[in-house]
Amino acid sequence: MDDLSISEIVRGVVDESYKNERVQLLQLLANKVGESTEPMTPDESKSVFTIAVAKLDTKTDPTLISLFLSLLTNSTISDENVKSFLAFLAASEKFQNIFHEALNTFLDHNPQIEQDEAEDAWENMASVMCNLAQVEEGRTMLLRQSKEYMIRLISQVRSKNVVRRRGAVGSIRSCLFDQDIHWWMIVDAKVVDTIALPLVVAVPFTEMEKVGMNPLWWLVASDPERLPEPDLEIMRMLLECIVLLCQRRGLREELRKRKVYNVVKNLDTKCEDERVSELIYEVVNLLMGDEDPSNPMETYTPPALKG
């Protein structure tokens, strides 16, 4: 079966005579699409996206929801396929409505009432959103303020589910390459309150450091058992988000007022990962650089974040 083409597997998925093999065929299709190094053809795109989206609702069996989202994740890895998917949605009000309802189902999840190790059929929607954020049209959709997608996505950073966290932080990072949204993200979406919290370690802050700081940060820092984000990839992306928010002097001043510097400085005492240490240095360099008039860093972009 590994030699089958995408079109052949699609025919098997939609053929009712293979109903008992549908789960296996969906897994095969997701793997096949994910392994492909070439953009899907228009016919392949339409067929794959139709399968992935058509029954993406709460009435569908969770096993199938998980498979549909795995398929959608793997079929939106490349920019070309992301653009094909967005064009697919734009061409069909029906599928557009189904997908946006599915997005709402994912975003309505409340991380604060999660159970440990709970199965989460919708977790890969975070990966889909991260993929969509690769292109401008996808970022525009996620940042549509009337839908509050971004504000609700930010809350998923606090999920116990690593897939949700990774996709949410990756989406936020991609959107932050647009400097025009930085003030809105900090002041209205309150992104800093959320992305800095996982970086807080068990090092108590002084009374002076607490001034202007989110109280939750210094409360959790006083817990001797407090641990920062356990996934190093996510931790790096969180720091990259802060680096991106440091690109303008006014925003650097805002981050200093909120005592982001102190959070990052304390993190450096507890984390031994080399890349994390490099990012901490970049944040510290950016936030403290304004104190040196000869080093304003007004347009500095760290090489590691270009692209």
pLDDT range class, residue 2, cuts 50, 70, 90: low
pLDDT tens per residue, range 221-260: 999 999 999 999 999 999 999 999 999 999 999 999 999 9
**Taking 60 as the threshold, does the pLDDT of residue 302 lie above it?**
no
- At residue 278, the pLDDT reads 96
Domains of the chain: 1-175 (1.25.10), 196-307 (no CATH)
- At residue 96, the pLDDT reads 97
For 30, 51, 54, the CA distances from 11, given in Å and listed in that order, are 14, 11, 15
End-to-end CA distance of the chain: 38
Q: pTM score, two decimals?
A: 0.91
- At residue 116, the pLDDT reads 77
- The three-state secondary structure class of 36 is coil
> CA 286 to CA 224: how far, in whole Å?
29
- The three-state secondary structure class of 182 is helix
pLDDT tens per residue, range 59-105: 999 999 999 999 999 999 999 999 999 999 999 999 999 999 999 99
**Taking 90 as the threshold, does the pLDDT of residue 301 lie above it?**
no
Give residue 63's Cα distance to chain centre. 23
